[in-house]
Amino acid sequence: MTIKYPNGQPFEPSRSTKNDIKRPNQGHRGMSLESELNQANQFYLQNGLANIHKKPTPIQIVNVEYPKRSAAKITEAYFRQASTTDYNGIYQGRYLDFDAKETANQTSFPLSNVHQHQIDHLDDIKRLGGLSFFIIRFTKRNETYLIDSSLLITYWKNRQENRKSVPYTEIVEQGILIPTGLRPSLPYLNAVDQLIAIH
């Protein structure tokens, strides 16, 4: 079933919303990419290495009830379209901004997972001097890559004429594989170190 906004735009549930609904765990020690990123961010925060957070899902609140002796209860609200990516923060004195995507596809990353506003936002962040990337997980391969936003932006801009996905081989070649760790289980800042070294 496709949920649509009143303006007819399809509703894309955010990851955090999806997680409110039970769904099968995918790959990588049985944890979702979002859970692993949240754990990694908490680890980095507690160890003073970085301060990176997932942004809350934007919600339009229409009605709130104030029952006596209990918490304010939102009784009518709607999902809004985000204008940015899900994650941002500071690491090594740099502004860093990214979105995280999972795909069950094994041979390519479909661009249908990406939205125009995410491309525009990451393009702008890069222009302003920030670190701007995607973290993409191939769930069936159990592999997670950090991809500089420029690669996806190039594919996105040519998606009318060319293919509507980024080949897996291209991601392996251009991306940085994030190794599996113990604490955190997804030490993605190691990949960011490599991204910084290239720039």
Q: Would you report the helix, strand and coil content of the chain in percent, each value rounded to 5? A: 35, 30, 40
When asked if residue 78 is in the footprint of its own copies (CB under 8 A), the reply is yes
**Any known ligand binding at 60?**
no
Q: Is the four-CA dihedral 195, 102, 81, 88 of positive or negative sign?
A: negative
When asked if residue 35 is in the footprint of its own copies (CB under 8 A), the reply is no
User: DSSP H helical segments within 140-184, as ranges?
Assistant: 149-157, 168-174
Beta-sheet strands, E only, within the chain: 50-54, 59-65, 73-79, 87-91, 94-103, 108-110, 131-138, 143-148, 165-167, 176-177
Q: Which CB sits closer to its own copies, 166 or 192?
A: 192
Gap between the terminal Cα atoms of the chain: 43
Q: What are phi and psi of 67, to 5 degrees?
A: -65, 150
When asked if residue 167 is in the footprint of its own copies (CB under 8 A), the reply is no
DSSP secondary-structure letter at 141? T
Can you tell me the distance from the alpha carbon of 70 to that of 66, in angstroms, rounded to the nearest whole number? Answer: 8
**Any known ligand binding at 84?**
yes
When asked if residue 23 is in the footprint of its own copies (CB under 8 A), the reply is no
Which of 29, 47, 74, 154 is the binder for its own copies (CB under 8 A)? 74
When asked if residue 22 is in the footprint of its own copies (CB under 8 A), the reply is no
Q: Which CB sits closer to its own copies, 53 or 140?
A: 53
Can you tell me the distance from the alpha carbon of 180 to that of 177, in angstroms, rounded to the nearest whole number? Answer: 9
When asked if residue 115 is in the footprint of its own copies (CB under 8 A), the reply is no
**Any known ligand binding at 2?**
no
Which helix (H) or strand (E) segment holds residue 116: the answer is helix 116-127
Q: Which CB sits closer to its own copies, 5 or 158?
A: 5
Which span sits near its own copies by CB under 8 A: 22-30, 90-98, 165-173, 186-194? 90-98
**Any known ligand binding at 118?**
yes
Which of 25, 58, 164, 172 is the binder for its own copies (CB under 8 A)? 58
Which residues contribute to the annotated binding site for Mg(2+)?
84, 86, 99, 118
| Interacting residues toward its own copies by CB under 8 A | 1, 3-6, 11, 13, 17, 20, 45, 48, 50-51, 53, 55-59, 61-62, 64, 66, 69-80, 82-84, 88-97, 121, 124-125, 127-130
